[in-house]
A = this chain, B = another copy of it.
Amino acid sequence: MKPPINNDSTNMNEFELIARLSELESAKNIEGADTVITGIGDDAAVVSTPASQMLLTTDAIVDGVHFRSADERWFDIGWKCAVSNLSDIAAMGGVPDHALVTLGVPSRASVDTFADFYDGMNAAFSEFGGSIVGGDVVSSPIMFVNIALSGHPSTDSYGEPMTMRRTEAQAGDLVCVTGPLGSSAGGLKVLFSGETNPSGKILVDRHFRPTPRIEVGNKLVEFGVRCAMDISDGLVGDLEKIAKLSGVKITIEMVNIPLATELIFMFGTSAIELALSGGEDYELAFTASKSLVDDLVANKVDLTVIGSVSSSELPSGQVDVVDENGELYEPIHKGWDHLND
Q: Residues of A with Cβ closer than 8 Å to B?
A: 15, 37-38, 41-49, 51-62, 64-66, 87-89, 91-92, 94, 98, 100-102, 104, 133-136, 138-142, 144, 146, 148, 150-151, 153, 163, 165-167, 229-230, 245, 337
Contact = CB atoms under 8 A, between A and B. Distances in A.
Given A60-B136, A62-B141, 14 more contacts: A15-B337, A43-B89, A46-B53, A47-B54, A56-B134, A57-B100, A57-B134, A59-B136, A60-B138, A62-B138, A102-B146, A136-B146, A144-B144, A148-B148
Contacts of A89: 43-44
Contact of A148 (B41, B53, B58): B58
Contacts of A141: 62, 64-65, 141-142
A81 to B, nearest CB: 12
A163 B38 contact: yes
B44 A148 contact: no
Nearest to A94: B44
A88 B44 contact: yes
Contact of A47 (B53, B64, B134, B142): B53
A135 B146 CA distance: 11
A44 B144 contact: no
Contacts of A45: 55-57
Instruction: List the number of copies, as a whole number.
Output: 2
A104 B62 contact: yes
A37 to B, nearest CB: 7
Given A134-B58, A135-B58, A140 B65 contact: yes
A109 to B, nearest CB: 14
A148 B245 CA distance: 26
A210 B15 CA distance: 24
Contact of A100 (B56, B104, B133): B56
Contact of A43 (B38, B52, B92): B92
B49 A151 contact: no
B52 A49 contact: yes
A94 to B, nearest CB: 7
A57 B37 contact: no
Nearest to A166: B42
13 contacts: A43-B87, A43-B229, A43-B230, A44-B94, A44-B151, A45-B56, A46-B153, A47-B55, A62-B104, A62-B141, A65-B141, A142-B142, A146-B148
A150 B153 contact: no
A214 B51 CA distance: 26
4 A-B pairs with least C-beta separation: A148-B148, A44-B57, A43-B91, A58-B100
Given A102-B146, A134-B57, A49 B46 contact: no
